[in-house]
């Protein structure tokens, strides 16, 4: 968590984003006092996420967090399994702009964006 | 329709340690992870609220399931 410059900096994701996503997935009425709890949960979640990703990257002797690291994390979290491959999740949840970054798409001139990942 | 996550915010959240860099498209994967986490949280909270015969999800329901889910989200 950022310790600098007062209260504005250490807010995690914006309130509107977190609540709207939560409401979208909840599909029932959500009382308005849920947000402080959500905020705390997200903070703890991100703390752990950052630590884990750093450890995975360091384990592979890298200083850069790559897609493989996050994929491994999701495998460990049980989101990605053998019957639920990561591409299915990407197509189900992510908007088109992010999907383009992750799944190779052929464009004109036989260019494939992004470069297919090495296996 | 879902909102887009603010990417720069997301990056700054992952990048608490100064020496760590984030590869291309890795932040999109993290976005996916956040969505999945919120999804499972919402589902669990809804079941909890349903168990307690409440039509709305209240803060106590979320609190009750958060421990389990944060444990699941361990890497």
Which residue, chain included where needed, has tokens 């949280």? Answer: B41
- Report pLDDT for A7: 44
**Across residues B12-30, what is the average pLDDT?**
84
- Report pLDDT for A10: 57
How many angstroms from the chain centroid is the CA of residue A9? 20
When comparing pLDDT for A60 and B74, which is higher?
A60
CA distances from A18 to A30, A39, A119 (A): 12, 8, 34
- Report pLDDT for B17: 75
Best B18, B73, B74 residue to mutate vs chain A (most A CBs within 10 Å): B73
- For B8-70, the DSSP string reads HHHHHHH--STT-EE-TTHHHHHHHHHHHHHHHHHHHHHHHHHHTT-SEE-HHHHHHHHHHHH
Give the distance from residue B8's alpha carbon to the nearest chain A alpha carbon, in angstroms. 10
Q: Which residues pair with A112 in a beta bridge?
A: A106
Distance between CA atoms of B31 and A49, rounded to whole angstroms? 12
Q: What is the mean pLDDT of each run of 10 residues along chain A (119 residues)?
A: 48 84 90 89 89 91 91 92 91 88 79 71
Domain ranges of chain B: 39-75
Best B4, B21, B38, B50 residue to mutate vs chain A (most A CBs within 10 Å): B38
Burial of A4 (0-12, 13-18, 19+ CB in 10 A): exposed
A57 close to A69: Cβ distance less than 8 angstroms: yes
- Report pLDDT for A4: 46
Q: What is the pTM of this model?
A: 0.88
- Report pLDDT for A6: 42
- Report pLDDT for A82: 92
- For B42-70, the pLDDT digits (tens) are 999 999 999 999 989 998 999 889 888 88
Q: Closest partner residue to A57 among B16, B20, B41, by Cβ? A: B20
């Amino acid at each position: 968590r950022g310790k600098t410059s007062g209260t504005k900096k250490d807010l995690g994701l914006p309130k509107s984003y977190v609540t709207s996503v939560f409401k979208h997935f909840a599909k029932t009425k959500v009382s308005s006092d849920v947000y402080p709890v959500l905020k705390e949960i997200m903070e703890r979640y991100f703390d752990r996420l950052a630590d884990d990703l750093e450890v995975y990257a360091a384990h592979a002797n890298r200083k850069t967090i790559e897609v493989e690291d996050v994929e491994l994390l999701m495998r460990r979290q049980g989101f990605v399994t053998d019957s639920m491959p990561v591409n299915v999740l990407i197509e189900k949840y992510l908007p088109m702009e992010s999907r383009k970054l992750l799944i190779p798409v052929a464009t004109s001139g036989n260019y494939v964006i992004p470069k297919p990942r090495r296996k | 329709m879902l909102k887009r996550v603010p990417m720069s915010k997301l990056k700054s959240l992952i990048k608490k340690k100064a020496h760590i860099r984030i590869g291309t498209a890795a932040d999109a994967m993290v976005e996916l992870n956040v969505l999945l986490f919120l999804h499972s949280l919402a589902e669990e909270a809804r079941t909890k609220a349903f168990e307690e015969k409440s039509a709305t999800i209240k803060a106590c329901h979320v609190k009750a399931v958060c421990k389990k889910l944060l444990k699941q989200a361990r890497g």
